[in-house]
């Protein structure tokens, strides 16, 4: 991969990325192969969610992704992780990007403690490693009093804290955080932002999708503004946010 004049190596390259979703007129997304069983009179709509997005992300950057609802932010993140295929263009990454969140692996009926082990295994830790990390995770989530209760009894904020604490226990080289910070309370948000900064300092590259301009300003070194599937602006977070808010207030 090419290097910049400052010598930083790109870790993610998005090269004219297009993503088109095929959606049934009833509103449901379609998986490959589903098309065949649809009745012919039901129209198939194409949603062009990303229209040629190009950028390079470098080591140690923390990149905020902003834009209106439905502008394509999550689609871009899912394409970077490989969950959503690009229709045209390509994404190159120097190592496998991780999406912060172990939500899918967790089970509401199990205690917070058992879910920590489960979530850790899903992240690739061994049981022994999780036994060592467990207390730190419980302390970060501040759930000492509740950790033996089923996770399903937790409030949404408590669940979000548990998920963040599990996922943030691992150092990721390329980490994608999609709105995870918006759910906790103000104090937890500050602590999770600090943790993200720490991960970034340890040679990680972080993408943070958020509608909280404060989170982006406090956490990110760069911002990408995606609007209607296109990269509208890329640069210093304060300037990009100012331009975005100016358009929103018109």
Ligand X SMILES: Nc1ncnc2c1ncn2[C@@H]1O[C@H](COP(=O)(O)OP(=O)(O)OP(=O)(O)O)[C@@H](O)[C@H]1O
- Count of residues near ligand X by CB under 6 A: 13
Task: Out of 47, 81, 110, 121, point to the residue binding ligand X (CB under 6 A).
Answer: 47
CA distances from 82 to 77, 98, 160, 175, 239 (A): 9, 10, 24, 13, 30
Task: Out of 69, 156, 249, 250, point to the residue binding ligand X (CB under 6 A).
Answer: 69
| 3-class DSSP assignment, residue 64 | strand
Q: Does 75 bind ligand X (CB under 6 A)?
A: yes
Which residues lie across from 231 on neighbouring strands? Answer: 226
> What separation, in Å, do the N-terminal and C-terminal C-alpha atoms of the chain show?
41
Q: Does 21 bind ligand X (CB under 6 A)?
A: yes
CA distances from 97 to 4, 52, 71, 171 (A): 21, 21, 22, 12
Please identify, among the stretches 70-78, 155-163, 213-221, 242-250, the one whose residues bind ligand X according to the rule CB under 6 A: 70-78
Q: Does 23 bind ligand X (CB under 6 A)?
A: yes
Please identify, among the stretches 52-60, 66-74, 164-172, 217-225, the one whose residues bind ligand X according to the rule CB under 6 A: 66-74
Task: Out of 10, 64, 67, 97, point to the residue binding ligand X (CB under 6 A).
Answer: 67
Q: Does 72 bind ligand X (CB under 6 A)?
A: yes
- Torsion angle, alpha carbons of 207, 210, 214, 219, to 10: -10
| Residues within the interface to ligand X (CB under 6 A) | 21, 23, 29, 47, 49, 67, 69-75
């Amino acid at each position: 991969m090419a290097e910049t004049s400052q010598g930083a190596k790109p870790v993610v390259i998005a090269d004219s990325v297009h993503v088109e979703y095929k959606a049934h007129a009833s509103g449901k997304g379609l998986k490959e192969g589903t098309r065949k069983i649809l009745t012919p009179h039901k129209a198939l709509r194409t949603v062009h969610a990303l229209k040629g997005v190009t950028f390079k992300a470098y080591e140690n950057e923390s990149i905020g992704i902003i834009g209106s609802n439905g502008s394509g932010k999550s689609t871009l993140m899912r394409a970077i992780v490989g969950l959503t295929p690009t229709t045209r263009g390509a994404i190159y990454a120097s190592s496998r990007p991780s999406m912060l969140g172990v939500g899918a692996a967790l089970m509401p009926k199990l205690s917070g403690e058992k879910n920590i082990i489960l979530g850790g295994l899903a992240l690739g830790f061994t049981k022994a490693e999780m036994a060592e990390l467990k207390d730190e995770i419980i302390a970060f989530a501040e759930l000492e009093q509740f950790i033996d209760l089923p996770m399903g009894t937790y409030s949404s904020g408590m669940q979000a804290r548990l998920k963040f604490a599990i996922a943030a226990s691992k150092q990721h080289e390329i980490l994608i955080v999609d709105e995870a910070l918006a759910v906790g309370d103000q104090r937890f948000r500050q602590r999770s932002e600090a943790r993200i900064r720490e991960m970034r300092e340890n040679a990680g590259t972080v993408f943070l999708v958020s509608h909280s301009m404060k989170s982006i300003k406090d956490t990110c070194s760069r911002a990408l503004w995606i609007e209607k599937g296109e990269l509208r602006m890329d640069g210093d977070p304060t300037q990009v946010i100012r331009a975005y808010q100016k358009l929103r207030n018109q």
